[in-house]
Chains A and B, each alone.
Chain A
Amino acid sequence: MTATTPQKTATPSGPDGPGGNGSRLPALTRRLRVDRRYLPVLGTFVVLALILAIGGVRYENFLSTGVLANLFINNSFLIVLAVGMTFVILTGGIDLSVGAVLALSAVSTAFLLDAGLPVAVVLPGAVLIGSIIGLLIGLMVHVFEVQPFIATLAGMFFARGLCFVIAPESIPITDEAFVALAGWDTWIGGQWRMTTSVIIALVVIAVAFYLLHYTQFGRTVYAIGGGEQSAQLMGLPVARTKVLVYVISGTCAGLGGLLFAMYSRSGYSLTGVAMELDAIAAVVIGGTLLTGGTGFVLGSVLGVLVLGLIQTIITFEGTLSSWWTKIFIGVLLLVFVVLQRVLSLRKT
C-alpha cells in the first residue's frame, strides 16, 4: 500500500516538518483522502498559511484586507509569468526569456503609445510581440532540436537587446486612455481593492486552469512531461503542443509586460531583469517538478503569493535589509526542492 509515502509531504511546512509524528500522518492523509498529487501544493499552502500566521502575530496590520489585496496588485505580472512558465516546465522545458520579453512588451507599449497609436492597437500588439517570440523559440526547440535552455537564452538576449534598440531611456506613459485603464479599480465588498491588472491576472489563471485540466491540449502537456516518447507513441500531437507551450509562455510574458507598464506607468529597458528566476522559483515552490509532468497552475499562483509575502514581511519588519529577501527565497527553494526529492525517492 502506498499509504506510507504521503507522510512526509503532508507537512512540508517547515525546514524540519516531518519528524516523530510520522506514524499519525499517513493515517490522517488516508482519512482525509488527499490525493498524493496534491501534496506538494498542500505544502505550499501550509507555508503560505504559516507566513500569514507569523506576520499576523508579529505585526499589527498585517492580516488586513488592504495588505492582502496589495499582494495581488503588486504581483499580478509575476502571477501571469508564473502561469505561463508552468506550462513550459510541465513539458520538461524551461523558459528563460520571460523577463526580457516582459520588458520588451512594456517598452513597446510605452513607445507605441508615445508615437500616438491608439490603445486599442497597442495593447493587442504588445501581447502579440510576446506570442511571436514564443513561437520562434518553440520552433527553435522543436524543429531544430535546440535545447530549451539555449533557445530561450537566445530569446532572452534577443528581446533584451531589442529593448535598448527601441528605447535606451525610460519612456513615461501619458496616454489618457491607458492611464485611465491602469488607474481603474473597484472595491469588492467595499474592502478588497481590485485593479485592472488583478482582474487580468485572475482571468489568465482561470483560462490556464481550464486549458490544463479540461482540454486535450492540457492532458498532452502532462503526457509530454511524463515521457515524450510515450506521448508520441500514443499518437498525441507532441510537435504542436511543444511549440504551443512556448507560445503560451511568450504570450503570458507579453501580457505581463502590459501589466508591468500599467503598474509602473512607463516603459524601461531594464525592467524584469532576473524576473524569470522569480517565476521559476515560484513555480518550483508551487510544487511543480522541473523534470516535468507534475504540477498545477494554482500551485504556481500560491508560489508567487509566498514570494510576495516574504517581501511584505521584510517591508513590515523595517529593520531587515532587502537582501534578506533573496536569502529567504533561496532557503525556501532549498527546503522545497529537498522535500520534493525525498518524495520522489519514496515513490520509486
Chain B
Amino acid sequence: MPATMGASTRTAGPGGLRRLAHHTIFWPVVALIALLVANTLYSPDFLAVSILDGHLFGAPIDILRNSAPLLLVSLGMTLVIATRGIDLSVGAVVAIAGALSLSFIATSPNPGSVTTVLVAIAIALGLCLLLGVWNGFLVSVVGIQPIIATLILMTAGRGVAMLITEGQITTVNSAPFKTLGAGFWLGLPAAALIAYGVYVVVALITRRTALGMLVESVGINPSASRLAGVRARTIVWTVFALSGLFSGLAGLILASNVMAADANNAGLFIELDAILAVVIGGTSLQGGKFSLSGTLVGVLIITTLTLTVTIVGISPLVTPLFKALVVIAVTLLQSPRVRERLAARQRQRVAKPEEVAA
C-alpha cells in the first residue's frame, strides 16, 4: 500500500496536490485563505495596504498587530503542548504582567522616562518568568499533571493581579510604554515586530538545533527519552518558564495597547484561544510532534476571524460561535477516523488507473 501511495505522489500535477493535501497544515491554510477571500469579496479593498504618516495601514497590518499577543502566548503553548503538557495559566500571567508594569509606572515619579519603562518591563518579565518556573517546578519536580498544576495559577493568578492593582483599573500616561503596543518601528507595528521576531528566534532555535527534537522526544515518551539521556525534567521546566515569559511579553503588549491594567479582563480566555491556535495548527494535545508554522496559521485564522466578525458588523460577542465552528471543522478533518476514510477513498482512486496501465 505505501508503495502505491509513494508512486502516486512522485508523479507531477495532481499527485503533488495530493501530497499537499496530506500535509498537516493544508486544511488550516485553506481555512485562512477562505477567510481572506470571503473578506475581500465582502469589502474589495480588504487586502489593500496604504502608507499614512510613514506607517503602513490596512487590514493586513491590523491582523499582524492584533495577532502579536496571541502569537507570543501560542508560541509558548506549542512548546508546552509538545512536551505533553498544557498551560492554563497564561491568561492570568498576562494580567499579572500588565498589572505589575502599569502599577510600577503609575507609582514612579517620572512615568514618561524610558528608564522607568524599561525597569517596569524588566520587573514584569522577571516575575512572569518566575511564574513559569513555578509551573515547571510543579509539573517536572512535584509531578502534578500540567492541567491541574497550571489551573492553580490560573485561579490564584487573577487574584494576585487584583492584589497588585488593588482592585482598581490603573491607567497611566507614558509615551515610551505606549510604543510597545501602539507604536511603529520602520513603518510596521512595534508589537508585531516583537512577536514575529521572537517567533523567528524560537523557530530557528528549535528547528536548526536538536532542541526541537529533544522537546518532541520528551512529548512522545518521557521515560524513554530520559533513559536515552535526554534531560526530560530540564526541558519540561524550560518550556513552562518560556511560556510564562512569552505570556508576560504578551501581557505588556496588551496593557500598552489600552494603557490600563484591568486585572479581571486582561488576557481573558487567551489560554483557550492559544490552545485553539495550536490545535488548529495540527499539533496534537497528546504531545510529541509540534508545528510552529501550523501555530502561526492557527493564530492568523483566529485573529482574522475576530477582525472579520467586527468588519461584517456582527456583535463581537458572537465570535465564539464562529470559533467553535472552525475548531469543530478542523478537528473533525484531522480526526483519525475521517483521515482513514479519506485515505481509503484515495487508495481506491489510485489503484484503478494502475490496473489500466498494467
B323 within 8 A of A: yes
In the bound complex, what is the Cα–Cα distance between A154 and B324 (angstroms)? Answer: 5
Chain A residues with Cβ under 8 A from B322's Cβ?
161
Q: Which listed residue (B147, B152, B272, B315) contacts A153, Cβ 8 A?
A: B272
| Contact B319–A161 (Cβ < 8 Å) | yes
| Contact B285–A144 (Cβ < 8 Å) | no
B327 within 8 A of A: yes
Could you list 13 A-B pairs, sorted by A, with CB under 8 Å? Answer: A150-B285, A154-B328, A157-B327, A158-B328, A280-B151, A281-B155, A326-B159, A326-B162, A330-B153, A337-B148, A337-B152, A338-B144, A341-B142
| Contact A158–B318 (Cβ < 8 Å) | no
| Contact B148–A284 (Cβ < 8 Å) | yes
In the bound complex, what is the Cα–Cα distance between A329 and B159 (angstroms)? Answer: 10
Known: A146-B331, A151-B331, A334-B152. 10 other contacts (CB 8 A): A145-B336, A150-B327, A153-B276, A158-B324, A277-B155, A324-B159, A326-B155, A326-B156, A327-B156, A327-B163
> Given the interface contacts A290-B147, A321-B167, does A153 sit within 8 Å of B320 by beta carbon?
no
> Given the interface contacts A327-B163, A330-B153, does A143 sit within 8 Å of B337 by beta carbon?
yes
Main secondary structure of the interface of B (DSSP, over half): helix
Q: Which residue of B lies closest to A269 (CB)?
A: B317
Chain B residues with Cβ under 8 A from A158's Cβ?
320-321, 324-325, 328
Chain A residues with Cβ under 8 A from B86's Cβ?
149
| Contact A147–B285 (Cβ < 8 Å) | yes
B160 within 8 A of A: yes
In the bound complex, what is the Cα–Cα distance between A212 and B321 (angstroms)? Answer: 34
A320-332 CB mask vs B (1 if < 8 Å, else 0) is 0111111101110
> Given the interface contacts A144-B332, A149-B285, A337-B149, does A330 sit within 8 Å of B155 by beta carbon?
yes
B178 within 8 A of A: no
> Given the interface contacts A140-B328, A161-B320, A323-B162, does A338 sit within 8 Å of B142 by beta carbon?
yes
Chain A residues with Cβ under 8 A from B143's Cβ?
341, 345
Chain B residues with Cβ under 8 A from A147's Cβ?
285-286
| Contact B149–A154 (Cβ < 8 Å) | no
In the bound complex, what is the Cα–Cα distance between A154 and B272 (angstroms)? Answer: 10
Q: Which residue of B lies closest to A161 (CB)?
A: B321
| Contact A323–B327 (Cβ < 8 Å) | no
8 Å CB contacts to B: which residues of A127-180?
Answer: 140, 143-147, 149-151, 153-158, 160-162, 164-165, 168
| Contact A321–B148 (Cβ < 8 Å) | no
| Contact A160–B151 (Cβ < 8 Å) | no
Chain A: interface residue total (CB-CB under 8 A): 45
Chain B residues with Cβ under 8 A from A150's Cβ?
275, 279, 285, 327, 331
8 Å CB contacts to A: which residues of B236-285?
Answer: 263, 272, 275-276, 279, 285
Q: Which listed residue (A143, A168, A326) contacts B315, Cβ 8 A?
A: A168
Which of A145, A151, A323, A334 has the most chain B CB within a 10 Å cutoff?
A323
| Contact A94–B321 (Cβ < 8 Å) | no
Main secondary structure of the interface of A (DSSP, over half): helix
A202 within 8 A of B: no
Ranked 3 nearest A-B pairs via Cβ: A161-B321, A330-B156, A326-B159
> Given the interface contacts A143-B337, A153-B272, A157-B327, does A277 sit within 8 Å of B151 by beta carbon?
yes
| Contact A164–B159 (Cβ < 8 Å) | no
B165 to chain A, nearest CB (A): 9
In the bound complex, what is the Cα–Cα distance between A155 and B336 (angstroms)? Answer: 20
B59 within 8 A of A: no
Q: Which residue of A lies closest to B157 (CB)?
A: A330
A112 within 8 A of B: no
A138 to chain B, nearest CB (A): 14
8 Å CB contacts to A: which residues of B141-186?
Answer: 142-145, 147-149, 151-160, 162-163, 166-167
B338 within 8 A of A: yes
Chain A residues with Cβ under 8 A from B279's Cβ?
150
A333 within 8 A of B: yes
A135 to chain B, nearest CB (A): 14
B335 within 8 A of A: yes
> Given the interface contacts A144-B331, A153-B276, A154-B328, does A323 sit within 8 Å of B159 by beta carbon?
yes
A291 within 8 A of B: yes
Chain B residues with Cβ under 8 A from A324's Cβ?
159
Q: Which listed residue (B148, B157, B324, B338) contacts A157, Cβ 8 A?
A: B324
B153 to chain A, nearest CB (A): 7
| Contact A327–B337 (Cβ < 8 Å) | no
> Given the interface contacts A154-B327, A154-B328, does A164 sit within 8 Å of B317 by beta carbon?
yes
